[in-house]
Structure 1
């Protein structure tokens, strides 16, 4: 692939007014600045531009918006991202440019093949991928992204995204991995209920469930806890029901079960196990919850036996980020937590665009180079992060919540900012996708 054409554009960058202490006058300075631009950046304003005098930065999005297993979540992720970039534009944009995520958004229905097809369609027109949903999907185009110097925001918490050898230094991930999530969740469980004597894991094999299972096994080894089984299951669309997983739980009777499934499967497992007398607890990975579970007969069992682990503050969080998210909805409530995911996932790309613009080059290669040392402010939803070094497990935080039909989005935070107290070897991906 040939290098994108780089053009130069002279921009006026206005410095903020500086108020004198005597309040008798205000002054401002205006400096000339040159910004080199390439593929995905135009002098012309964006469609439906907020700032008519700005140019346009086009981002792409490959998401499950319809027809796939995560369409409900994906649609809300997209709405959260659109709101995030609208907020950026309403505050002046970045380096004299508005950000457009809508023009090159495509539905992948969570299909690896469709993801690759749609990637080829939008790649010639964008500066970066504002969303690439799914680990196998993103992996399917990673070699092409490498050749094109195309950075991306991932819709995934696979552990490999923390390591440049696995993601080629192109992925701007946020928060923990499924692997480290298990460690944090089990450390919280031990603090709250005492160290369990036994545990088991139930999940979808691959970058999600297997990643979570390896983290749980590493935690168990470090804490001398018996792992009774790693039970691989699948969505009900493939296996009809979760009876086999329930039977294993009832026969082995662990103190705690780490769940890494979709919401419907998690609810079925918890409810059927509880109905037959199981009184252990379930620690549910972030994708195991959906507010629609409030409308199901499983709610009683979930409220009694299940805790949800999230990578950042929930809807009831009090950070500046959560305040901004709620304000973006004008008093409304999103259909699910995907809206929060989309907003919070977008912070690293905003920081990257700002850094590249400040350094005078909005091109793909410049963005890729600027990742090293990139400082990201999550406005309190997550601890601030500097890219370029592999984070230690103690750097990750989680929010623990419980289902509660009386609160918006159906989960009430018990504690946020939870960190791991158990050290595990986290120098490479826990599993391959």
Structure 2
């Protein structure tokens, strides 16, 4: 999901932000006292004596709109509770939100409006969006919490991701099919994927695993504008695939699963995290999804009985009694807020709430425990490596919260350990 536009387009967008953005690096870093008579805490853009402002750039109107809306529920849930508990460093957390529509140009304009008034970006959805914004985020020494998992973003020291990357997810997906679904050497596997850094990053993992285990890989590349998967399903059926890997969005997932069922292509489908939203269970493809659809992700299915997940679920149901919680939406943004909270809290302890101070604090986190919200603990000390390496495997279930039932504990396939980017 990163190189949707050309490199020239990305660079042009970056230049536009550099010319028009309001934010500069630490222009107010002289410092002001924290509340309660404490020693002075250095501050900069996005931080005042009584507030810390984070920018949020979700997709609220494009192809990932269901996830984007769910993400804002999770973010607001976390920060509302944090503010009621006193905030961070004697300051309340404010959230500045702009819709990107999953459009890099729209995202640049939104960033221009908020960049001078935020300490960092609490959430940015989409690799293509991050690609367009990253040069200016780097120039302004901000952290960016990325709602995505492409390894192509490594080793940017400004970007935080929650867990492991799409290529590692795909390797784990193939391992699941080999160990749990009867896939064997010589079999054919389909991979339906978005062009760009999301799908093509996942493809790197499936290609690695296919070569390692003697599998034939049938590739079908699509764009977010492609909604009807008839041709792709026909290609998979003709090739005799024994399983399908999926690295696209929920609309394509519904088409894929429904058409596969209607064509008697009764094979397991394993998706990267962005390929699922519980709203899919309200579509005509619900039965097909429940029969064959699986998700591999560092984000916990809501059926997991960990402290962090159950705390989130209870709070979500109390705040949004008519809402639909989701692992890759509301829970992800909740986890992103946990990461931002830890970085801001450490920056406060270091007496430096400037953008650079918060970024440095983020990289001092070596074993962040989210209470099981993200698989394993997270280590942000090395920007060249994903902070996590474990994934959950889940199966779609109409009875499970968020529509996903965890299949065992989080783990990492042995193949993933030998994978070199």
Match of 1:47 in 2: none
Counterpart contact for 1:129–1:151, Cα < 8 Å: yes
Counterpart contact for 1:132–1:155, Cα < 8 Å: yes
SS at the partner of 1:316?
A: coil
Number of residues of Structure 1 aligned to a counterpart in Structure 2: 390
Distance 1:59 1:367 in 2: 12
Counterpart contact for 1:89–1:99, Cα < 8 Å: yes
Match of 2:13 in 1: none
Deviation (angstroms), 1:330: 4.5
Deviation (angstroms), 1:380: 2.1
Match of 2:281 in 1: 294
Deviates further, 274-283 or 356-365:
274-283
Normalising by the residue count of structure 2, what TM-score does the alignment of the two structures yield? Answer: 0.86
SS at the partner of 2:32?
A: strand
Identify which of 157, 161, 164 aligns with 1:173.
161
Matched, 1:113 2:105: yes
Deviation (angstroms), 1:94: 1.4
Deviation (angstroms), 1:422: 1.0
Deviation (angstroms), 1:306: 1.9
Match of 2:363 in 1: 372
Matched, 1:40 2:46: yes
Matched, 1:397 2:386: no
Counting only pairs closer than 5 Å after superposition, residues 20-31 of structure 1 correspond to structure 2 as none
Distance 1:386 1:287 in 2: 22
Match of 1:8 in 2: 31
Normalising by the residue count of structure 1, what TM-score does the alignment of the two structures yield? Answer: 0.84
SS at the partner of 1:92?
A: coil
SS at the partner of 1:274?
A: helix
Larger Rg: 1
Counting only pairs closer than 5 Å after superposition, residues 117-128 of structure 1 correspond to structure 2 as 117-128=109-120
SS at the partner of 1:371?
A: helix
Distance 1:137 1:394 in 2: 21
Match of 1:86 in 2: 80
Unaligned runs of 5+ residues in structure 2 are: 1-23
Distance 1:411 1:340 in 2: 13
Q: Alpha carbon RMSD of aligned pairs, Å?
A: 2.2
Match of 2:127 in 1: 135
SS at the partner of 1:201?
A: strand
Distance 1:137 1:390, change over 3 A: closer
Deviates further, 263-272 or 129-138:
263-272
Match of 1:48 in 2: none
Higher helix residue share? 2
Identify which of 59, 69, 92 aligns with 2:63.
69
Deviations along 1:136-190, whole A, 9 cap, x unmatched?
11111111111111111111111123x22xx3x1011111211111111221222
Question: Relative contact order, CA 8 A, sep 6+: which one is greater?
Answer: 2
Distance 2:173 2:253 in 1: 16
Match of 1:362 in 2: 353
Deviation (angstroms), 1:326: 1.9
Deviations along 1:42-63, whole A, 9 cap, x unmatched?
12xxxxxxxxxxx110111111
Distance 1:146 1:125 in 2: 16
Deviation (angstroms), 1:32: 3.8
